[in-house]
Amino acid sequence: MRKLIAGNWKMNGSLASLGEAGAIAIASAMHPDVDVAIALPATLLYAAKQQRLSGPRGTLAFGAQDVHHAASGAHTGCLSAAMLREAGASFTIVGHSERRADQHETNADVRAKAMAAHLEGLSVILCVGETEAQRDAGTAAAVVEAQIVESLPDKADSSWLTLSYEPRWAIGTGRTPTMEEIAEIHAHARATLIKAIGDNGASVRILYGGSVTGENAQSILAVPGVDGALVGGASLTAAKFMPIVEAAARGADRPL
């Protein structure tokens, strides 16, 4: 499976920082075996499109970090999938744990958002992951399974859906699970996908997210069942992000 390295700038960045996105696109062109994407703040999508920062061959995909489930209407401050697509998004993240926590999004909300995005032709990165208390209680796999089952959109298909396993306690903390713990959850997520949508569930990419850096990317990307990474803090500059893309490219070069 081709690896996907996706950045998430969260509420960071300005027009000036699009230079970093441009540098990431140029450097990523050296690694055609790896898919590279960045979820920008929505305010930067149109400028990235106007400046053709994706590169001539669309090397770097730009997307959004969230989407509203409705096509239009009285939803002050929200953005529809069509608006995001028009602004230049080719994908959106849904169900990021910061939104599940801060905006109280439920699995049903996440599912509706994923379906709205797909209807407008956006690819979807759907995030799941347990809290620290849930991990300590030994329920991480069960929590992730329930999140997948309840937030998986209708007709989920690997051509547009990516899953991202992000333990909440690993996000922005510098802490990561052990490689065995990552492998265990990824295997469980894979089995859950196959049970839910059949054979196609075998080809949905499953990313790992949570404190991925240039230092740990090689080990994390080598974990069986890890098909890429969703990267927050280390995606804000080319200097921090490219070592992660390069680690994925080295993995792609490895003979099977």
Q: Rule CB under 6 A: which residues touch ligand PGA?
A: 8, 166, 171-172, 209-212, 230-234
Q: Which residues of 170-193 are buried (b: 16+ CB within 10 A; e: fewer)?
A: bbeeeebbebebbbbbbebbbebb
Amino acid at 162: T
Position of minimal CB gap to ligand PGA:
232
> C-beta of 171: minimal distance to ligand PGA in Å?
4
Residue 81 or 125 with smaller CB distance to ligand PGA: 125
Segments in the chain forming alpha helices (H): 18-28, 42-50, 81-87, 97-102, 107-119, 132-136, 140-151, 179-197, 217-221, 238-253
Residue 109 or 197 with smaller CB distance to ligand PGA: 109
> C-beta of 168: minimal distance to ligand PGA in Å?
9
Instruction: Please give the helix or strand (H or E) that residue 123 lies within, else none.
Output: strand 123-128
> C-beta of 50: minimal distance to ligand PGA in Å?
26
> C-beta of 248: minimal distance to ligand PGA in Å?
15
Residue 44 or 230 with smaller CB distance to ligand PGA: 230
CB atoms within 10 A of CB 58: 11
CB atoms within 10 A of CB 142: 13
- Helices 18-28 & 238-253, crossing angle to 10 degrees? 20
Any bridge partners for residue 161, and if so which? 124
Report, as residue numbers or ranges, the catalytic residues.
96, 166
Residue 121 or 172 with smaller CB distance to ligand PGA: 172
